[in-house]
Amino acid sequence: SPVVTCSAAVSPAHLCGVLLSAMSRLAAVCGGSRGIGKAVSRLLAEKGCRLAVLSRDGDAARATVASLHGADHVAFSCDVSKEQEVQKTFESIQKTCGNISYLVNAAGINRDALLLRAKPEDMVAVLHTNLLGTVLTCRAALRCMLHTQGAAIVNIGSVVGLKGNAGQCVYSASKAGLEGFTRSLAKEVASRNVRVNLLAPGFIRTDMTAGLKEEDGVRSIPLGRFGEPEEVAQAVLFLLESSYVTGQVLVVDGGLQLAM
The alpha-helical segments, DSSP class H, found in the chain are 12-23, 35-46, 58-67, 83-97, 120-126, 133-145, 159-163, 169-189, 214-217, 229-241, 256-259
**Smaller CB separation from ligand NDP, 112 or 241:** 112
Active-site residue, 171 included: yes
Counting every residue written for the chain, the total comes to: 260
Q: How many CB atoms lie within 10 A of CB 208?
A: 16
Least gap, CB of 227 to ligand NDP (angstroms): 8
Interaction residues for ligand NDP, span 19-48 (CB under 6 A): 30-31, 33-37
What spatial distance separates the first Cα and last Cα of the chain, rounded to whole Å?
Answer: 49
Among candidate residues 76, 102, 171, 226, the one labeled active-site is: 171
Contacting residue, 18, 22, 63, 109, with ligand NDP by CB under 6 A: 109
Alpha-carbon span 107 to 250, nearest angstrom:
18
- The rounded distance, in Å, linking the Cα atoms of 87 and 141 is 9
One character per residue 172-211, x = contact with ligand NDP (rule: CB under 6 A): -----------------------------x-xx-xxxx--
Total residues at the site for ligand NDP (CB under 6 A)? Answer: 32
CB of 101 to ligand NDP, least distance (A): 20
Among 158, 168, 182, 197, binds ligand NDP (CB under 6 A): 158
Q: Which is nearer to ligand NDP, 21 or 49 (CB)?
A: 49
Per-residue contact flags (x/-) with ligand NDP for residues 125 to 154, judged by CB under 6 A: ----xx--x---------------------
Nearer to ligand NDP, 43 or 54 (CB): 54
Site for ligand NDP in 213-252 (CB under 6 A): none
Determine if 89 is a binding residue for ligand NDP (CB under 6 A).
no
DSSP 129-186: IIIIHHHHHHHHHHHHHTTSTT-EEEEE--HHHHH--TT-HHHHHHHHHHHHHHHHHH
Other residues' Cβ atoms within 10 Å of the Cβ of residue 117: 8
Q: Which residues, at least 6 apart from 149, have a Cβ–Cβ distance to it below 8 Å? A: 101, 193
In this structure, the number of other CB atoms found within 10 A of the CB of residue 154 comes to 26
Q: Please list, in sequence order, all residues whose beta carbon lies within 8 angstroms of the beta carbon of residue 245, skipping any fewer than 6 positions away.
A: 195, 197, 239
For ligand NDP, which residue of 65, 107, 141, 239 counts as binding (CB under 6 A)? Answer: 107
Q: Answer yes or no whether residue 254 interacts with ligand NDP by CB under 6 A.
A: no
By beta-carbon proximity to ligand NDP, the closer residue of 126 and 145 is 126
The binding site for ligand NDP (CB under 6 A) comprises: 30-31, 33-37, 54-57, 60, 78-81, 106-109, 129-130, 133, 156, 158, 201, 203-204, 206-209
Catalytically annotated residues: 171
